[in-house]
Amino acid sequence: MKRNNRFLIMISVLFLLLLSACSGSKESSSSEKPEDKKAEEEEVVEIKYFNWDADQTAINKIIADFEAENPNIKVKSEVLIPGGTAVDNMTRMDVLMSAGEQVDVVSIPNVDQAVLRAANGMFEPLDDYFKKDKLDIKEEYLINAAYDGKVYALPHLTNYWYVLLNKDHLDEAGLPVPELGWTWEDFKEYATKLSKGEGKDKRYGVYFHTWGEYANPILFAEKEHPYMIDEKKSIFDDKSFDYWFELRRDLEKSGAIKPFSDVIGAELNYRTEFFNEEASMLMTASWTVADVGNVEKYPHDFKTAFAPMPRMSEDSSLGSTNIAGEFSAVSKNSKHKEASYKFLKYVTAEGSQVRGLSSWKDADGEATINNMVAGKENYYDVDSLLHTLFNDEVKGAYTSDLAISYGNELKKNVLEAGFTKFMLDGISVKEAKEYMVEEANKIIEVNKK
C-alpha cells in the first residue's frame, strides 16, 4: 500500500513537472509573438502604384510626403502608358494583373471602370479597413465606387462638370456670365447669340464632343444613375430624351453647334475647339481648370468664364450636377494590403490636394484653385470659377447605392450608339428610344446570367 502511495506521488510530481514545462513552453511562445509582430511592423515593404500621370511631379510629391510619415513603406510609381487613352491604360493594367505582376494600388479613370473590375474580383473590398479605422466613408468623401454593398475604390481626383465660356465673346454679344439656375433653353439662346460668321470663318456658339455625357447630359446631372432606374429597368425611355434630342438637333439646324458628322469625321479635340476660338462655349469638367492657364500648350489670349451646368427646367433641382472622379483601388492580389490601404487613404485624402480638386471633404478646395490660377489670373474669371465649384447649392446627382458592372457597355453601345443613329440616320426620338431600350434589355439580360 505504501509502495502504491509512493508510486502515485511520483506520478503526480512528474505530471506537475510536465505541466510546468508545457506552461513554460507556451509562455515562451507567447512572449515571442509581440517581438515577431513588432519586427513585422518595422519591416520595410515596397508597393507599386500604377497610374497614367505623364507629369509625375504631383505623384512624386505625394509619395515623398507619404514616405516621410510612413518610413516602413516605400512607394514606386509605375506609369501605365504615358499619354495613353483611358481604354489603353485599363487594358494595360488588366494584362499586368492577370499576368501576376506586382500590382498593389491602381488608378481607374471613372466609376464604371472601377465597378466593372470590382465585380470581376480584381480589387480588395475596403469596408473592413474602414471599420477598423472607424471611418464613415460617406462623411469622408463626396463620392465612392461601390458594388454589391461594398466599397472598392476611393476618388483621388474629383471632376465637377460645368460650362466654359469665352468672356470676350460674352462681352461682345452683351451677355452676362450665366449663374446657378440657368436652363438648357437659356443655354440654347446663348449658343445662338454667340454664333458668328460663315464657312471657314464660322464660329459656333458651342462645341459638344462624342462622349455619352454629351448625348444626354441631363442623365448625368439630374438622375441618380445615368443608365438605370433600378437593377432591372434601364432609363432609356426617360422623357429627358424627348427634350434633349430635339434640342440638340435644333442647335445643329440653326448653325449654333458644329455638325455631329464633322465632329466624328474629323476626330476633333474638344480643348482645341474652345481655345482656338472655334466655339464660344464648351461643356466639360474641372480637369480643364489647369488648361485655361496653360497658354504654352493651348495658346490663347482671352479670359475664360465658368458657369454651372444648366438644368432641364425651372422645376429641376437647383445646383444638381455631374460630379465624377478618378479613383484608386487596392489590388486583390497585393501581398501588402495593409501598406497599400494606408497609401490609398493618403493619396485620396491629404495627398489628393496636390493633384487637383479633391473629393475628400476636409480638403480646402478654394486654396487648391487659388494655387492653380496664381500668376495666371488674366486668363480666369476667378469669381465665376469659385462660385461654380463651391456654391453651397451645388451637389452631385449620382448615388452609388445602385451600381452595375456593365455601365460602360450601356454608355457606349446604347446611349452613344442611340444618339449617333438619331443624329446621322435621321430617325425620330421615339425610334431612337425604342432602339436604346431594346439594346439595353439585351445587355441587362446577358449580365443577369
Please provide the DSSP assignment of 138-205 as one string. Answer: HHHBS--EEETTEEEEEEEEEEEEEEEEEHHHHHHHT-PPP-TT-BHHHHHHHHHHH-B--GGG-BEE
Q: What is the pLDDT of residue 32?
A: 42
**Domain identity same for 305 and 405:** yes
Q: What's the mean pLDDT in 432-437? A: 98
Q: What is the pLDDT of residue 115?
A: 92
Cβ contact 162:217 at 8 Å: no
Interhelix angle 429-448/417-425, nearest 10 degrees: 160
Q: Taking 70 as the threshold, does the pLDDT of residue 111 lie above it? A: yes
Q: Each residue of 122-160: pLDDT tens digit?
A: 999 999 999 999 999 989 998 999 999 999 999 999 999
Comparing 406 with 18, which gets the higher pLDDT?
Answer: 406
Residue 231: band (very low, low, confident or very high) from pLDDT cuts 50, 70, 90 = confident
Residue 179 domain flag: yes
Three-state DSSP state, 311: strand
Strand partners, 74: 46
**Domain identity same for 177 and 237:** yes
**Domain identity same for 245 and 154:** no
- Of 373, 404, 436, the domain-final residue: 373
Residue 9 domain flag: no
Q: Taking 70 as the threshold, does the pLDDT of residue 328 lie above it? A: yes
**Domain identity same for 188 and 335:** no
How far apart, in whole angstroms, are the C-alpha atoms of residue 339 and residue 46? 9
In the chain, the largest separation of any two C-alpha atoms, in whole Å, equals: 125
Q: What's the mean pLDDT in 367-383? A: 95
Q: Each residue of 286-320: pLDDT tens digit?
A: 999 999 999 999 999 999 999 999 999 999 999 99
Cβ contact 146:152 at 8 Å: yes
**Domain identity same for 398 and 257:** yes
- CA separation (Å) from 195 to 188, 207, 303, 425? 11, 11, 18, 26
- Number of independent structural domains in the chain: 2
**Domain identity same for 258 and 111:** no
Q: What is the pLDDT of residue 398?
A: 86
- Of 342, 373, 404, the domain-final residue: 373
Residue 59 domain flag: yes
Q: Dig out the grid coordinates for 282 from the structure.
A: 464648351
Cβ contact 103:96 at 8 Å: yes
Residue 97 domain flag: yes
**Domain identity same for 206 and 86:** no
**Domain identity same for 179 and 221:** yes
**Domain identity same for 394 and 247:** yes
**Domain identity same for 339 and 298:** no
**Domain identity same for 279 and 368:** no
Residue 98 domain flag: yes
- Of 356, 373, 390, the domain-final residue: 373
How far apart, in whole angstroms, are the C-alpha atoms of residue 205 and residue 190? 7
Cβ contact 390:133 at 8 Å: no
Rounded to the nearest integer, the mean pLDDT of the chain is 90
Residue with cell 509502495: 3
Residue 197: band (very low, low, confident or very high) from pLDDT cuts 50, 70, 90 = very high
Q: Taking 50 as the threshold, does the pLDDT of residue 24 lie above it? A: no
Residue 32 domain flag: no
Residue 432 domain flag: yes
Q: What's the mean pLDDT in 331-337? A: 96
Q: What is the pLDDT of residue 41?
A: 54
DSSP β-ladder status, 279-285 and 304-308? unpaired
Strand locations in 264-371, DSSP E? 279-285, 304-308, 320-321, 323-330
pTM of the model: 0.84
Report the CATH number at residue 353: 3.40.190.10
Q: Taking 60 as the threshold, does the pLDDT of residue 387 lie above it? A: yes
Q: Taking 60 as the threshold, does the pLDDT of residue 36 lie above it? A: no
Residue 21 domain flag: no
Say which amino acid occupies 237: D
**CA torsion, points 67, 337, 326, 159, in degrees to nearest 10?**
-70
**Domain identity same for 250 and 183:** yes
Most confident range, picked from 35-39, 387-391, 436-440: 436-440
- Residue 148 sits in which domain range? 44-159+324-373
